[in-house]
Each structure stands twice: as C-alpha cells, then as structure tokens.
A and B are shown apart, each in its own frame.
Chain A
Amino acid sequence: MPIDPSPKVVPLGKLAARVPDGASLALGGSFLHRSPNAFVRELIRQQKRHLDIIKQSAGYDLDILCRAGCVAKARAGIVAMEGNFGLAPWYRRAVEQQQIELEEHACMTLTAGLRAAAFGVPFQPVGGVHGSDLARLNKWVSITDPYGSGQDVWVVPAIRPDIAVIHVNEANELGDGRVYGTYNWDRIMSRAAKRVFLVAERMVSVRSFQDRPELTLIPSFMVEGVSVVPHGAWPGSCWPLYEVDYPAVEDYLSPQKALETHLTDAPETKEHVLV
C-alpha cells in the first residue's frame, strides 16, 4: 500500500474519534438506504455518549445507537425499520421509557431548520403544518406575511448540526464526494452543519471528478475528513452497488442476538479497512 497521500483521508476509527460526547450529528441517507452505518457502529465501539441525532427519516442507525445507550436526544420526522420490520424497537423503548428526549418533526420542518442554518438566517418558513399538534409541542411560531398577502406561515428555528456524516458512493483524496441515485436530504445536511465527514464506498481519481464536476454533491473544501469503507451502509443498501441485507436486519432485530455479535459481523471489521 502506498502511504496515504492526503491528510483528509483517515481511518474510520480516527474519523469517529473526532466526535465529542454530546455532539449533534446529522446522518445522511434514509431508512435502510445509504445511511452511514459503519460510522455509527464505530461510534458505539468507541462508547460515545449523549449524542443528539438529527435525521428526517431514521431507522437502523438511530435504533442501534439507542440500543447501545449513545443517544441523549433525537430530532426526527419518522423512525422505523421499514420494509416488513415495522417500528424501530430500541428507539421505541428509549422514547417510551424516557431515556432519550425526542424532538418530533415533520421531515420538512426539520429541513426548514437545516435550511435556516444553511442560509445563515435564524428561522425559516415552511409550508403546511396548519392544525398539527407538532407546532404546539415544539412551540413553533406562526407569522403573518409581512408583505400583506394575509397568509399565515409557520417558521422553524435554525438547526445547525455540529457534524454531518454522509455516506457517499465515491470520494477522492481531496475530499470531494458524490452519490448515485437520490441523495435524499444529504445536500441540505452538508450545507447546514458546522463540519462534514464523509464515508465512501471507494476512492476514485481527482481527474474523474474534474471530468464531471456537476456530479459532485459535496465539494472538498467543505469536507474535514473522509474514510473509505466498502459495504459501509450494511445492513442497508448503497445503490447501485448492493441491496438491503434483509436476513442481517432480521438478525439484528432478534432479541437473542447480542449487540456485540452484530457489531462483529459488520463488514468494516472484516474487509480491508484502516480502522
């Protein structure tokens, strides 16, 4: 192996070690698809505590962090395992037993908060919300159009995550990253957060990014560090490389299965990864 040419490219363990206890983390992807699951498991191995997890549509990632006792707060629009698996059991238990604080959003109110942070303004209007108890619960404010249309609009305060962690298909040594298929909410997460970490399926040449710069989702100057973890979204999918490993998700959900065993089964412990 050549010596790593870029200070931005770091082993997964070192990247995760930069997350302080109590940090707010925006996690990319959606449900079982292209979520930064290898990074999440590394947070568990390093016994991070009091994390504030921000994600519109969370699933396995938030659930396993709750299972391991790493979470103090979650800000989410919907949390489920999806497919045929239903509710996220350890997340559900953590909320029901009041072990974590939940800030319940609609996906787009959370996004409005991220947009406010990305735009550099203190709050952001969002469509809809009228009649929802979520407004009262979160003490959101409705304002009347100052330009006189008479319309009322709900405004959501800025949500500025400490770190956005985005699982990308490809990165280069400079830290640029790109995603194939939908990028879900990852673009706005990366613009809203103070720091951006990437986990990439593979490294490709800077030249290939220069050839198609419009495909880059996250430019390198915004990225602090990138780790290479093939199959890092396991047991979820990473389009078009691999699909959801449903037996592995079922196995994770089995009450008989110890968390430690599941963590040992993960690809980042098996494949050639610089942990």
Chain B
Amino acid sequence: MSSDRLAWSSFSYIVTNLARFVRPDEVTFSGVNSTPPMLACLMAKRAYNFDFVYLNVAGGVQPRPSKIPISSSDPVLAEGSTAIFTNEDFYDLCTRGGMDLCFLGAAQVDGRGCTNVSSIGDWHRPKVRLPGGGGGAVMLPTARRAVTWRTEHSTRTLVETLDFVTAAGGMHGVVTPIAVFVKRHDRLALQSWHPDVTLDTVSERTGFSFDATDAGPTSLPTARELAALRSLDPDGQFEHDAQLQ
C-alpha cells in the first residue's frame, strides 16, 4: 500500500494538506457532504502536538467518535461530546466572527476563491443541477478562514469564470490531488504542488492564472501524519471510496 511509504497517494495528499490548515487553539468546523475535511480534522487531532476546538455539523464539540462514519454528518460524530452545538448555533457563531477555520465544499472554484455549487450551465436551464452550497453563501464571507478541496484538478473545476456565484468572499485555501493554493492579495496563489507532477502540469490543468512565487513541491507526509491517517482508515475503505487515481 502506498500509504505505508513516505509518499503521497491522491487521497492522503488531499486529507493531509487539509489537515495542515488546522492551527492551534482555533475553532475549526467540518460540515455535511465533507468526508475529506472530517478525516482531516480527526487526523489533526492525532497527528499534531497542539489542540484545537473541533466542531462539526452533527453537533459535536470536541467529540471522541467511537467509529469513523461514511456520512460526514452522522450523529456518531457527536459521540463523546460534552455538549450538542446545533446547526443554528454554529452558523450564528460563524456570522458573529467566532469561526476561525471552516471547511466548505465546492464544484467550481475561481481565481478569487469564490465557488459555484449550484449549477453547470445557466441556473435556470442547468446542464447539471448541483447539490447547492449549503452553508457557503453565509459561511464563506463570514468565517475567518475557509478552505475547500476538489478531487478533480482540471480546467472545468478550477475556472476563470464561475457559471454561478453560490458563495463569494474567497477561499483562504484550496487543496486538489496535485496542488495546494493559498489566498494572497485576494487571489489564489500556488503554495505547493505534488512532487510527482511539475509546475507546468499544474498550470495546464488550472483554468485561472495564479502566482507561483515561492511555491515548491509539497513536503512529504510525516510519520505521524501517515500513522494518524492509517488509524482513521485502517482498511483503506475511505481511500477506496474516494475513487481517486
């Protein structure tokens, strides 16, 4: 198994680089339809020498779930909590400025870090009706930092112009199977890329222009990061379900 070596799989690259956005003592949230951020938050608890306040959409407050669920809104994610912090609670916390890091989903992301989770094509006559942004339009402009991920890095997911702006305000970070972007001067800039690909590949597969100053290959996973992820996915089921190459 590739995850037993000091190297990246696409899956471990996404989860681990999401986890690397977690900072000490901050309030950090993972939501619905968000398996990679759920794993990243649980992984950060196990891999890093600091604590943070982990909240999730199942009402969990510093939970200690007895198992890792397939659904990232499964009530097991509140197991071991000393409180239930319900949906209205965590949204209100976010809009009043108390959410430090919020993981949000996206179908398309543009160079400013705005997202489309609504429709491909015209909203009124969509080619594809997407799930909708859930918390995005409220949380992306109000969270202190928001981070998203895409399992596909292509010119149709990372675009110059969104078909519809579901949520504005701009992502702080975006993780794909081959790259990590971070906001710089209100634009997404390349922070690092997967060591098995080139900067040219990242550019070719990205629909928006970006600054790559100071970017380099992503540092390899640490032994603790690998061990933490393996402990969350011992049978490789999540990696298998993610269907990444």
Contacts and interface: CB of A to CB of B under 8 A. Distances in A.
A182 B74 contact: no
Nearest to B126: A96
B131 interface: yes
Interface in B62-76: 70-76
Contacts of B84: 181-183
A19 interface: no
Given A76-B132, A82-B32, A126 B75 contact: no
A132 B87 contact: no
A244 B74 contact: yes
B118 interface: yes
Nearest to B241: A84
B151 to A, nearest CB: 11
B91 interface: yes
A115 B75 CA distance: 25
Given A82-B72, A96-B126, A134-B166, A184 B32 contact: no
A246 B167 CA distance: 31
Contacts, number: 166
B168 interface: yes
A239 B75 contact: yes
Contacts of B132: 76-79, 104-105
Interface stretch (B137-145, B171-179, B200-208, B214-222): B137-145
Contacts of A137: 123
Contacts of A34: 75
A127 B84 CA distance: 22
Interface residues of B, number: 51
A78 B131 contact: yes
Interface string B84-118: 10111001101110000000000000000010011
Nearest to B138: A128
A111 B139 CA distance: 14
Contacts of A105: 132
B58 interface: yes
Contacts of A33: 58, 71, 73-75
A78 B73 contact: no
Nearest to A88: B131
A240 B81 CA distance: 14
Interface of A: 30-34, 56-57, 76-80, 82-84, 87-88, 91-92, 95-96, 98, 102, 104-109, 111, 126-134, 137, 181-185, 187-188, 237, 239-240, 243-244, 246
Given A31-B33, A96-B126, 18 more contacts: A92-B129, A95-B126, A106-B133, A106-B137, A108-B95, A127-B92, A127-B142, A131-B114, A131-B165, A133-B118, A133-B165, A134-B166, A181-B58, A181-B84, A183-B86, A187-B86, A240-B75, A243-B74
